[in-house]
Amino acid sequence: MQRTYSREEYLEKIAMIREAKRPIAITTDIIVGFPGETESEFEETVSLLDEVQYDSMFSFKYSPRPNTPSLSMSDSISEEEKSRRLAILQDRQREIQATKMNICWRQVRSTG
């Protein structure tokens, strides 16, 4: 996918948003199994999830779409592998959200 920014630039923007100390939610959309995605690139995605700690995530397996540049790319990643990666990603996001909910619950209880 042709991103025009680096991971570091993205994380800087996330940090600026969080420093505003306003009640916001940071969410993301992630597609796993994009043509040519390596295991290492997938692991980088999971590590970004851990670092950013998104409040919510929409995640999907790659599938070809008409009129997109990826349509002409070889879909070299098997459906089984896409499913495995999606399950890992979604499991990790559930863990992140559960942790955040527990923190919120403790804060509510301590002020209540």
pLDDT at 102: 85
Nearest 5 degrees, angle CA 23-CA 24-CA 27?
Answer: 155
This prediction's pTM: 0.85
Structure tokens belonging to residue 51 = 């670092």
CATH code of the domain occupying 7-111: 3.30.750.200
The domain locations on the chain are 7-111
Q: Of 89, 76, 84, 93, whose CA–CA distance to 38 is shortest?
A: 76
For residue range 26-84, list pLDDT tens digits in order: 999 999 999 999 999 999 999 999 999 999 999 999 988 888 878 778 878 999 999 99
Q: How far apart are CA 71 and CA 65, in angstroms?
A: 6
Whole-number pLDDT of residue 112: 62
Residue 1: per-residue pLDDT: 61
Distance (Å, whole) CA 60 – CA 31: 5
| The pLDDT of residue 68 | 82
Q: Which residue has the higher pLDDT, 109 or 24?
A: 24
